[in-house]
Copies of this chain bind each other. A is one copy, B any other.
């Protein structure tokens, strides 16, 4: 679209906006007559037809076949979200629902579960919430629990609220005093430290303790560093709202591929992508990384501390989705989750 911003140009944008809104609402190609009726454009259908022809020429909308209405293209949706959409503000009822629901969460797992469910209900789409990654967290505390004479449970508590447990078998019998000393030294080295640095700091510990503790320390540290660098859990995501897919028509192009993708958590993570914690990212159709998902869009953002966020959350759905509503809901939930994680465990 050219750089001029004449009155006619302005109206063309309004027409595009109207087309997107109507198409999202009705799921059917929208014609010129219906447009002028449903929106208060003060012009005749014929004028709108001219605008439509121009918009089509420029690739923003598309005609399934001659003598059918118009449908937005990915490029059209893109212009819509960039220039035309205004975030739908959350209603106060929605705000209340968010806070009461999330405030009731008792632990991290619960926060994630509730968020994903909430997000899918707010948007009536499929919602995805990534569990906080290990790598971005700091160590809050490390606990050693002797279970039996030769078995020790390690508990790693992170700033995000995540808790990891590991079992260690040791050769020699455990003295309570030794365990206490080790617990102290480990936390001196690691507590409050970002996880990568903590792992590094711990590897030097076995040489710094009393020789009698060296063997035990070595075993414990080895398991701890292993747990810290175990990115298996970084791939965990929670999904909710798959049933919302049932509302959409084109099963084979839109629903089935997405349904299959939902099983592959790695795929979902890649879809969520590296969204900053400060802005909501929208990826429309072919802009995403998977060609099979050319008919689906993603609205996502990061959550957690701004400079160093814990993970991402968002919704996925057909390109024909309510972008303003989804973006507002995603932003609201992300903010609330960030706040909860920040205050709840500090």
A-side residues, CB < 8 A to B, are 106-107, 110, 140-141, 143, 145, 147, 153, 155, 157, 163, 165-166, 232, 240-243, 245-246, 251, 255-256, 259-260, 262-263
Contact = CB atoms under 8 A, between A and B. Distances in A.
B157 A153 contact: yes
A259 B246 contact: yes
Oligomeric state, in number of copies?
2
B246 A263 contact: no
A241 B259 contact: no
A299 B212 CA distance: 55
Closest 7 A/B residue pairs (Cβ) = A243-B260, A243-B259, A143-B145, A246-B256, A243-B263, A242-B242, A246-B259
Q: In the complex, which of the residues A107, A240, A256, A263 has the most CB atoms of chain B within 10 Å of its own CB atom?
A: A263
Contacts of A242: 242, 259, 262-263
A41 B260 CA distance: 40
B246 A260 contact: yes
Contact of A140 (B147, B245, B255, B259): B147
6 contacts: A147-B157, A240-B263, A242-B263, A243-B256, A243-B259, A246-B256
Contacts of A246: 251, 255-256, 259-260
Q: In the complex, which of the residues A106, A166, A262 has the most CB atoms of chain B within 10 Å of its own CB atom?
A: A106
A145 B106 CA distance: 18
A145 B154 CA distance: 12
Contacts of A259: 242-243, 245-246
Contacts of A155: 143, 145, 155
Nearest to A345: B167
